[in-house]
Amino acid sequence: MIVIKVGIIEDNEYMREGWETFIDYEDDLTVIGSFGSCEEAFESEEINKVDLVIMDIGLPGMTGIEGVKYMREHHPDVNIIMATVHDDDDHIFDALKAGAVGYLMKKVTPDEMVEAIRNAQDGGSPITPNIARKVIATFQKAADLEEELSEREIQILKELATGRSYAAIGKKIFLSVDGVRHHIRNIYQKLEVHTRSEAIAKGINQRLINPNSD
């Protein structure tokens, strides 16, 4: 039987010990390192032996988001599940973008935590249902925005991101300056923004444009 070696990074001692107790109770799981901070974990030898880490976001010193980035750089084969009280969009997407494979609320049951560990190690992405709903809603919103913007408007939004003036944009796409302004007003209205920088930021965030493309 393959035993999954788990590390825990959580500053709440009682929660950390609770997780350790019920994880160790399972025959196929074992906690080989339990730490109160990322700094403590990364200085230990045990972190080099783990298959999976359960990590809080709100940690003293290095945050959980920074901890995920460190793990991705130094231990890319280790799966990381965030276990946190934070359910706002910024924390969720920062953690997932940093490289976490799962995102759980701390109120999950022991059985749910154990199943999440097995799921993550088996190639899955365990996410608490209300968090999954937020992720889906974000992608649906992005899809709705893309449908709302016409091809011409997306083209102009891409040109805005290059820093070109309205006149330069009009010259490139064979449109008058007034025509460019008209489309930009529509873009601002549809994206619910008021400035060029806000429009570009939202376009990138919603994946309507790629700032690295030509």
Residue 213 pLDDT exceeds 70: no
> Is 100:82 a contact under the CB 8 Å cutoff?
yes
Residue 47 pLDDT exceeds 70: yes
Under DSSP, the state recorded for 143 is H
pLDDT one-digit tens code per residue, 177-192: 899 999 999 898 888 8
Cα–Cα distance for residue pair 120/14, rounded to 1 Å: 24
Q: Could you tell me where the DSSP H helices lie in 75-195?
A: 89-98, 110-121, 129-148, 151-161, 166-173, 177-191
For the chain, what percent of residues have pLDDT higher than 90?
58
> Is 114:52 a contact under the CB 8 Å cutoff?
no
Residue 214 pLDDT exceeds 60: no
pLDDT mean over 119-140: 83
Residue 137 pLDDT exceeds 80: no
**Number of neighbours of residue 119 by Cβ within 10 angstroms:** 18
**If residue 29 lies in a helix (H) or strand (E), which one and from where to where?**
strand 29-35
Q: What is the pTM of this model?
A: 0.67
Confidence category of residue 19, pLDDT binned at 50, 70, 90 = very high
Average pLDDT over the chain, rounded to an integer: 89
> Is 74:62 a contact under the CB 8 Å cutoff?
no
Residue 211 pLDDT exceeds 90: no
